[in-house]
Amino acid sequence: MSKAREAAAWLLKAHENRERFRALPEEFSPKTPDDAYAIQEAFVALRAKKLGAAIGYKIALSSEAMRRFVGVDSPQAGVMLESTVRRSPARIRAADYVGLIVEFEIAIELAEDLPAADAPFSRDRVAGAVGAVMPAIEIADDRNADYAQLARHPLDLIADNTWNEGAVLGNATSDWHKLDLGKIRAAAAINGARVGEGIGAEAMGHPLDAVAWVAGQLASRGHGLLRKDVVITGSLVTSKRVKAGDRVRFDVESLGSAELQIE
């Protein structure tokens, strides 16, 4: 068994045992981003047996401040699996997660492929492949990680699929071309109380630039974005921890809302 597959099996067991997030054992700890993404691919393949095929991607550490905090100089990509992506309004059980957090994002659904052979990707190239845009709430499980320790092992977040446990997608808007996605405003609320605001530019300068980054990152590993893939482009509001009984809502100007009930 390769080191990547050994690491993936270790991660899967840690998830199944509901263990707190911690660094991978030294014998297969990733030393480079390529090592980390190899582990992620093996881990996602194991999870896909239960959760379904990959249907989209996410971006972690999309803000410069978060990258400084963790000690990396680049965002990180993760994979979303079919059964974990829900349509709004959605319900999940807090008991199914160890450390449940949510983020507030603009999601992009592709109408055309962005194959690896076409890299690098410009904003205009990405725009030509976009079919729809929608608000999204990312569901993540940090497994009660000690955030102060992340900077010591920043590549382990990649290996653990950037903690993604899916997303809740609002209604898709296909007539999005007249919108300036970098300037549209958004607001997050929990139990009716506003917990944060942001604009589209919080997503790596522009949501389409975030998609271009994901497409380029995949291309560097010989993969491409495919028609119908969904990319959630980075949180416009800081992550929020939620618990049973919470109602989460994310409103995006001109795009509508996404809603999640925690049971």
Tens digit of each residue's pLDDT (9 = 90 or more) over 130-143: 999 999 999 999 99
Q: pLDDT at residue 72 above 90? A: no
Tens digit of each residue's pLDDT (9 = 90 or more) over 196-251: 999 999 989 999 999 999 999 999 999 999 999 999 999 999 899 999 999 999 99
Q: How many residues does the chain have?
A: 263
Query: Superfamily for 54-262?
Result: Fumarylacetoacetase-like, C-terminal domain (3.90.850.10)
The alpha carbon of 84 is separated from its chain's Cα centroid by a whole number of angstroms, namely 12
Residue 204: CB atoms within 10 A of its CB come to 20
HSE-CB at 190 with a 13 A cutoff on CA atoms is: 18
Q: What is the mean pLDDT of residues 97-125?
A: 97
Tens digit of each residue's pLDDT (9 = 90 or more) over 13-68: 999 999 999 999 999 999 999 999 999 999 999 999 999 999 999 998 887 766 77
Backbone angles phi, psi at 35, to 5 degrees: -60, -45
- Listed by start position, the domains of the chain span 54-262
Q: pLDDT at residue 167 above 60? A: yes
Say what the pTM is: 0.95
In angstroms, how far is the first alpha carbon of the chain from the final one?
40
